[in-house]
Amino acid sequence: MIPTICLRRVLHEAVITPYRNLVTRATGAAVRGRIEAALERLGCEVAVLDFSGVEILDFSCADEIVAKLVLPAARPSRPVVLLGVRDEQREALDHVLAHHGVAVTARLHESGEPVLLGAATPDLHEAFAALRARGAALDDFARLPIS
Amino acid sequence: MTRVVEVPPSFDDRSFEQFAAGFGAWPPEERILVDARGTQWASPYGLVGLLTAGQALAEAGRERPLLTVPQSEDVKRYWARTGFFSHAAGLFEIHGKVPRAVATGPSDVLLDVTPVRASEDVHEVVGRIGENAARIMSGELGLEAKSSVGFSMALSESCTNIVEHAGTGGWVAVQAYTFRRRLGRRVVVIAVSDAGIGFRRSLESAHARRFGDRWGDATALEAALIQNVSRFRDPGRGQGFAGIKRYLSRWQGKISIRSGTARLAVVPPWDDDLPLADQLPFFPGAQVQITIPAQHSEPA
């Protein structure tokens, strides 16, 4: 079982505000720092991030958190799975991941449906569709080659 | 000696050039008197621009400028309502009676004139705009409810630009009004202005060489807004304006950025603005305006 990291909780720990918005690069960097520390502590290779309860996600913060978790500066790419992603957040995530030429699996807040976000090759799309068709678990999606 | 800089009667992004020209060579040697007595209306762009002038003069070490307030009681009340005078008091020697700011329930002022200096200010701004944005975007502009999330994103990215690049603080204001002259519809306008180093100086060390002799305020704006470049080497940078443009293209919105002596705009079909204006009068920092129109015209 892969532990899920609640972004709203991490946001509240990282910045002392009552807001539910993931905005600005500085906030993104602070949140990512805490996520990386948690992954290290838990010994997790896969990052499962839950966006439930997060309202606004801007492009800078999406880049700083998700794109940089997928593509850490000094390591090979890390599998990331997103949960509770709302339609309005999907656009920012899709854009920043495509910009870096990587993809992640996300489960949408509204429908619960798994989708691929970012730049996915035809092979990745095919593998994703096959997993989805057999109702695969998150762990399986996390094993997809993302970049 | 005192130099009088007149605030245009209708003070918006277009008449701003007349205001900027009034300062002459920057920074002006003389003491500045900003004369707003004849001003009948000011857009949020005008108000944050006025504060930027005061801030830039202070940061240039010039004598505290004078500001004469509008004669019109309605205009004064409105400027007070936006919070303009409370910030102006710290930057100008104000002449004329200023009314107390009184909030009277829901208004067209979606976000008072607010200082932006740090990441926490951006959180504050985005948090405060939340419910108002949803009310205006879907209620008055006829946009789908979730458009207010993209609106908050655009607001956040344009304020973050100050925090990341200006090297000093700035101001933001958001207002809804009817854009009769050019559009005949309600619009929501985000105005962001700072007194910082401007786009040319921000991008110079990383990008000037590539442009050679062409390098200047206009090419710096083109690099940032059209090519999405950033002064940072980090490949993820420069996506803020890309995100704003993407959002605006969906709702026929407009963005214009003025910095130094140039102004660049992504112009939607409803507007007749020039995409690029160069060799304008110098004005410090950067001024951004984002306009989102209603989807339907107002009844005549």
Q: Is B134 touching A (CB cutoff 8 A)?
A: no
Task: Label residue B279 exposed, middle or buried (CB < 10 Å: 0-12, 13-18, 19+).
Answer: exposed
CB contact under 8 Å between B123 and A100, yes or no, is no
Most confident of B22-31, B100-109, B139-148: B22-31
Mean pLDDT of B100-105: 67
Mean pLDDT of B113-134: 90
Give the DSSP H/E element, type plus range, for residue B200. Answer: helix B198-211
Task: Label residue B126 exposed, middle or buried (CB < 10 Å: 0-12, 13-18, 19+).
Answer: buried
| For A98, nearest residue in chain B (alpha carbons) | B236
CB hemisphere CA count around A117 (13 angstroms) = 28
Query: What domains can be seen in chain B, in order of their start residue?
Result: 1-99 (3.30.750.24), 107-300 (3.30.565.10)
pLDDT of residue A79: 86
- Banded model confidence at residue A25, pLDDT cuts 50, 70, 90: very high
Write b or e for each residue in A52-85: b if 16 or more Cβ atoms lie within 10 A of its Cβ, otherwise e: eebbbbbbbbbbbbbbbbbbeeeeeebbbbbbbb
CB contact under 8 Å between B123 and A15, yes or no, is yes
| Candidate from A25, A55, A56 with C-beta closest to B160 | A25
| For A65, nearest residue in chain B (alpha carbons) | B236
pLDDT above 60 (res B244): yes
pLDDT of residue B226: 92
Planar angle of CA B198, B201, B206, nearest 5 degrees = 130
- Banded model confidence at residue B110, pLDDT cuts 50, 70, 90: confident
CB contact under 8 Å between B236 and A15, yes or no, is no
CA distance A47 to A80: 5
pLDDT of residue B118: 93
pTM assigned to the model:
0.91
- Best probe of the B interface among A8, A20, A24, by most B CBs < 10 A, is A24
Q: How far is A113 from chain B (nearest CA, A)?
A: 19
Q: Is B233 touching A (CB cutoff 8 A)?
A: no
In chain B, which residues have their Cβ closer than 8 Å to the Cβ of A91? 150, 246
Mean pLDDT of A95-103: 91
A contact set with B (CB within 8 A): 15, 17-19, 21, 23-27, 55-60, 63-64, 67-68, 86-89, 91-92, 95-96, 99-100
| For B131, nearest residue in chain A (alpha carbons) | A55
Higher pLDDT, residue B206 or A8? A8
In chain A, which residues have their Cβ closer than 8 Å to the Cβ of B161? none
pLDDT of residue B136: 82
CB contact under 8 Å between B126 and A27, yes or no, is no
B274's tokens:
């020039």
A51's tokens:
């966006």
In chain B, which residues have their Cβ closer than 8 Å to the Cβ of A59? 153, 157, 239-240, 242-243
- Best probe of the A interface among B122, B129, B148, B163, by most A CBs < 10 A, is B122
Mean pLDDT of B228-241: 82
- Mean pLDDT, chain B, whole residue set: 91
DSSP symbols for A18-35? S---B-SHHHHHHHHHHH
Q: How far is B181 from chain A (nearest CA, A)?
A: 33
Assign residue B40 a region: left if phi > 0, alpha if psi is -120 to 50, beta otherwise? alpha
**Interface ipTM:** 0.85
